[in-house]
Structure 1
Amino acid sequence: MDSSLGTSTQPLLTRDEQDPIHSTVVFTAETPDIAPITGPGDFFSQFTTEFKRLWYLAGPAIFSFFSKYSLGAITQIFAGHVSTIDLAAVSVENSLIAGLSFGMMLGMGSALETLCGQAVGAGKIEMLGVYMQRSWVIIMCVALPLSLLYIFAGPILKFLGQDTNISEAAGTFAIWMIPQLFAYALNFPVVKFLQAQSKVMVIAVISGVAMVLHPFFSWLLIVKLRWGLVGAAVVLNGSWWFIVVAQLAYVFSGRCEPAWSGFTWEAFSNLWEFFRLSLASAFMLCLETWYFMALVLFAGYLKNAEVSVDAFSICMNILGWTIMVSLGMNAAVSVRVSNELGAIHPRTAKFSLEVAVITSILMGLFLALVLIISRDEYPSLFSNDSKVKDLVMDLTPWLCFCIVINNVQPVLSGVAIGAGWQAIVAYVNIACYYLIGIPMGLILGYKLNFGVKGIWCGMMSGTILQTCVVLMMIYKTNWNKEASLAEDRIRSWGGHQDTTVNAINTEET
């Protein structure tokens, strides 16, 4: 196999023009880098082309993220119509316990966005299956100690000062949700494996089926059969495992050759370097996830904690739904940037980022407008408590502003993942979120008695600062240099034996 970048003796991606689920029209290694843009007409032409490529990836990815996120949100809605304590229990478990695990699993799985995306661009598609298996080994090992968080969720929440009734209910629900943790561990590597090859439609179809079935079974078990939190856990676990099994069946069916050629012992080689990149990816995304989790936790210390937690969780739920849009664009731009860097197309990689940012800002403004218009109606979907609904309506303007900012930030994170900057952005997140955002929220929320609004403003200050810093990093990036480093990343992080041998021989010569 030729180890040089951007060359391949065969088509990188299997195409089946008769089946849109399996076809790929986004990336071809043989296509040259775009020429420098010389005027408005040229910009519009290139913008239209890149816009179509991004949305070929982002559309199904947004639908997939939305569908999966809706599983927990739908469960929360049904629980809220049973009792306030059930709503609080599901909200706390979804936001804190499952949220922490989701961030860790998604973060570690995101290492594949760098490796698989750049490997496709470099013509090394046969390594994708090995990378996915290495990710499974590492993430499943991490999931085992994480299960202790579920087992001892109740005592941990009480130790953190949460309301006793909420802690006990959330702790019980968390134990029943342990199967979801291991579904996360298998799901995210498969998703990144498929996304790198632009096989996004199959992910969307499977997620869509799960979302369609989930409300019916939630109603049946939670409301009709009165299973309460037990029914919520059974349906939520079942939906996630349906997604995992269906995705694995697709991969094992032979539709992903040559990326998947079966299980191999090579998956257990060079795990340390792969673990380092996975840990950096997890650390970067977990710092963002934990940031929002911490704010939900702080809301539990306010007066009338049950109302504060419920209102804040509802707003975070809405924010989470809108973030699914930007996460879809995150996945799309990560694939585009990593593919183009792997093929040494620096101008295309940079332009893809610009198109994604412009598109995300416009989408954020549209979503915020919809929310403002419906501010008197949507709180009733989540709760029947008038105090909770009033507080949610009061928070809506802040929520809308947050939506616009958070529609851009995940796109920038996608660029960081596609380019392999996870460790650097992790340090940025620590400074912006934990040294500035959280202290600001605590001062405004408690010291100055602004309550939930103060906590929310603190959160926004950290997010805005982080967005500005990453934008500055991207502005100063030498994209030609980033493209030339792609081969080194694949060799040092991916652990490909052939390229490692080639590198050693080169050094000896």
Structure 2
Amino acid sequence: MDAVSSVETADLHPAPTAFIGSSDGDYPVIKSFDDAKTICFLESQKLWGIAGPIAFNILCNYGVNSFTNIFVGHIGDLELSAVAISLSVIENFSFGFLLGMASALETLCGQAFGAGQVEMLGVYMQRSWIILIITCIGLLPLYVFATPILKLLGQEADIANLAGKFSIQIIPQMFSLAINFPTQKFLQAQSKVSVLAWIGFATFIIHIGILYVFITLLGWGTSGAAAAFNLTAWGMSFAQVYYIVHWCTDGWKGLSWLAFKELWSFAKLSLASAVMLCLEIWYFMTIIVMTGHLDNPVIAVGSLSICMNLNGWEGMLFIGINAAISVRVSNELGSAHPRAAKYSVIVTIMESLIIGIICGGIILAAKDKFAIIFTESKEMQHAVSHLAFLLSITMILNSVQPVISGVAVGGGWQALVAYINLFCYYIVGLPLGFLLGYRTHMRVKGIWIGMIFGTSLQTLILLYIVYKTNWNKEVEQASERMRQWTGKELTIVDHKKRGDQEGGGPLIL
């Protein structure tokens, strides 16, 4: 056997290679085109079975924010601007940071589930609850002092004052994320994602109804919008917890004092995950801010925002793929299946790249038309058309980059990727974008080219790291991680003693 888990349970993690009959449950070496097709088909089923419901859940969450803005927009322009600023700046900042902190669970829960140590999933989730609640307390000043912060960023006083009031009112929503995100990761690690899709859809529909009652019927204004936002957020969190307590009895054994053990080690991994994700989110926010200081900022920011909006819709799909590949890699490493982890990465990168190329091609084909969806201004449409080629390249890059980030989370490489993001985005990409945007006639194109260069460099570095990854060593590290946090470990057999090198080394079929 290549690498086996002494605790692996067949009913929890079915062998991926029943079609060939590998004795250890790992994929065998691909020796023919038929083998490759079969593995590609199996991996595609597993990938989209996880990615589809997660992407749908993300779309529903996006819809909650969008419909909050839509209902508030019928109150007045000032209210719309204030709520939009609060949600896009204050709430978005805490959302990204907390989501990053919770991403540590994708590594630990995924590997523990793959190793058959399902009882530890509930402990890890509780540990994450504790850390994220503490993080929310640390983020409170951002909400309490939102008004002076927004004024410092250049917002008008009327907008900043109302946005600050709304930000204070949605503090309960922030604390709901401390429960929501860990429960999501708990369910994702076990591929129980269909329930997330149903809960997301139900809360989205309920949210629209609550907004109608609070704003349209009762006339509570932005306070009604905040109340609806809080109720929906906590409703989603309680629904996920209820499902876990009553239907996930293998992973949930009740509240445990073990949740307070190894908190610092857990917090370090959580913080690395948060930094890795936030460096990406803040990078794109900084690009928008830089564009706002160009000549004719209305056209510059407007055209770039239209392009980023379309890029964001594509990005939601790849967030689902990101979570799916993270689950696949962590599960297979925890199960001591190095080849299965490697092949899942290959299949996912190939399929994501194909999707990115198709999306980029559609943008180029409709470069003179798609801006009509957003604006009737001919000047704005013309500006967007000139950016279509860069948008197409960005979509292709963003089809690969989230996949590799998901692999990093699944393998526990968050700290390494955080350093790579810092170098590529902030030491290379932003300075280059500043020089091209402000020191040449390229303006918004120059800023975007700098962004593309930084993203391209990051993608190439991560691709090289994945290419050189020895998946046998990743299994050993997963075993060490399990030993550190659970007192148990996988039984790993040295492949080199058998002369079987296929589990590690470069990603070559």
TM-score range, shorter chain: 0.7 to 0.9
* Residue identity matched to 1:499: K
Query: In the TM superposition, what is the alpha-carbon distance from 1:122 to its structure 2 partner?
Result: 1.3
**2:17–2:25: 8 Å Cα contact kept in structure 1?**
no
Counterpart CA distance in 1 for 2:323 and 2:172 is 25
**1:114–1:338: 8 Å Cα contact kept in structure 2?**
yes
The match for 1:318 is 310
Counterpart CA distance in 1 for 2:231 and 2:353 is 36
The match for 2:30 is 37
Counterpart CA distance in 2 for 1:352 and 1:48 is 11
The match for 2:344 is 352
* Residue identity matched to 2:180: N
The match for 1:476 is 468
> Do the aligned partners of residues 12 and 164 (structure 1) sit closer, same or farther apart at CA in structure 2, a change above 3 Å counting?
farther
> Do the aligned partners of residues 304 and 9 (structure 1) sit closer, same or farther apart at CA in structure 2, a change above 3 Å counting?
closer
Counterpart CA distance in 2 for 1:459 and 1:222 is 40
**2:12–2:116: 8 Å Cα contact kept in structure 1?**
no
Query: In the TM superposition, what is the alpha-carbon distance from 1:259 to its structure 2 partner?
Result: 0.4
Q: Which sits farther off after the overlay, 105-114 or 94-103?
A: 94-103
Does residue 1:466 correspond to 2:465, yes or no? no
* Unaligned stretches of 5+ residues in structure 2: 492-509
Equivalent residues in 2 for 1:75-224, closer than 5 Å = 75-77=68-70, 86=79, 88-162=81-155, 164=157, 166-215=159-208, 217-218=210-211
Query: In the TM superposition, what is the alpha-carbon distance from 1:262 to its structure 2 partner?
Result: 0.6
Counterpart CA distance in 1 for 2:165 and 2:285 is 19
The match for 2:5 is 6
> Do the aligned partners of residues 322 and 73 (structure 1) sit closer, same or farther apart at CA in structure 2, a change above 3 Å counting?
farther
Counterpart CA distance in 2 for 1:263 and 1:369 is 51
Equivalent residues in 2 for 1:88-487, closer than 5 Å = 88-162=81-155, 164=157, 166-215=159-208, 217-218=210-211, 229-253=222-246, 255-303=247-295, 305=297, 308-309=300-301, 311-371=303-363, 391-392=383-384, 395-448=387-440, 450-487=442-479
Counterpart CA distance in 2 for 1:12 and 1:283 is 36
Q: Which sits farther off after the overlay, 275-284 or 80-89?
A: 80-89
Query: In the TM superposition, what is the alpha-carbon distance from 1:400 to its structure 2 partner?
Result: 3.2
Give me the TM-score of the superposition, normalised by structure 1: 0.85
**1:5–1:342: 8 Å Cα contact kept in structure 2?**
no
**1:69–1:324: 8 Å Cα contact kept in structure 2?**
no
Other structure's SS at 1:38 match:
coil
Q: Which sits farther off after the overlay, 219-228 or 331-340?
A: 219-228
Query: In the TM superposition, what is the alpha-carbon distance from 1:350 to its structure 2 partner?
Result: 0.6
Query: In the TM superposition, what is the alpha-carbon distance from 1:80 to its structure 2 partner?
Result: 5.7
**1:76–1:87: 8 Å Cα contact kept in structure 2?**
yes
Other structure's SS at 1:199 match:
coil
Query: In the TM superposition, what is the alpha-carbon distance from 1:491 to its structure 2 partner?
Result: 3.0
* Residue identity matched to 2:424: C
Query: In the TM superposition, what is the alpha-carbon distance from 1:168 to its structure 2 partner?
Result: 4.2
Other structure's SS at 1:261 match:
coil
**2:16–2:25: 8 Å Cα contact kept in structure 1?**
no
* Residue identity matched to 2:104: A
> Do the aligned partners of residues 60 and 278 (structure 1) sit closer, same or farther apart at CA in structure 2, a change above 3 Å counting?
same
**2:15–2:26: 8 Å Cα contact kept in structure 1?**
no
* Residue identity matched to 1:407: S
Counterpart CA distance in 1 for 2:53 and 2:331 is 18
Counterpart CA distance in 2 for 1:234 and 1:375 is 41
Does residue 1:54 correspond to 2:53, yes or no? no
Does residue 1:499 correspond to 2:499, yes or no? no
Counterpart CA distance in 2 for 1:346 and 1:271 is 29
Other structure's SS at 1:499 match:
coil
Counterpart CA distance in 1 for 2:197 and 2:50 is 10
Counterpart CA distance in 2 for 1:169 and 1:377 is 37
Query: In the TM superposition, what is the alpha-carbon distance from 1:314 to its structure 2 partner?
Result: 4.4
Counterpart CA distance in 2 for 1:437 and 1:175 is 35
Percent identical pairs in the alignment equals 45
> Do the aligned partners of residues 342 and 293 (structure 1) sit closer, same or farther apart at CA in structure 2, a change above 3 Å counting?
same
* Residue identity matched to 2:333: L
Query: In the TM superposition, what is the alpha-carbon distance from 1:185 to its structure 2 partner?
Result: 1.5
Q: Which sits farther off after the overlay, 27-36 or 205-214?
A: 27-36
Equivalent residues in 2 for 1:11-22, closer than 5 Å = 11=10, 13=12
Q: Which sits farther off after the overlay, 427-436 or 437-446?
A: 437-446
> Do the aligned partners of residues 342 and 319 (structure 1) sit closer, same or farther apart at CA in structure 2, a change above 3 Å counting?
same
* Residue identity matched to 2:168: I
Aligned length: 485
Counterpart CA distance in 2 for 1:122 and 1:446 is 53
The match for 2:65 is 72
Query: In the TM superposition, what is the alpha-carbon distance from 1:332 to its structure 2 partner?
Result: 0.8
* Unaligned stretches of 5+ residues in structure 1: 15-23, 503-509
* Residue identity matched to 1:410: P
> Do the aligned partners of residues 252 and 435 (structure 1) sit closer, same or farther apart at CA in structure 2, a change above 3 Å counting?
same
Counterpart CA distance in 1 for 2:409 and 2:167 is 30
Counterpart CA distance in 2 for 1:92 and 1:414 is 29
Counterpart CA distance in 1 for 2:311 and 2:444 is 15
| Residue-by-residue CA offset, 1:92-141 (whole Å, 9 max, x unaligned) | 33333222212211111110111111111112110000000000000110
| Residue-by-residue CA offset, 1:230-249 (whole Å, 9 max, x unaligned) | 44433333332221121111
Other structure's SS at 1:258 match:
coil
The match for 1:19 is none
> Do the aligned partners of residues 381 and 58 (structure 1) sit closer, same or farther apart at CA in structure 2, a change above 3 Å counting?
same
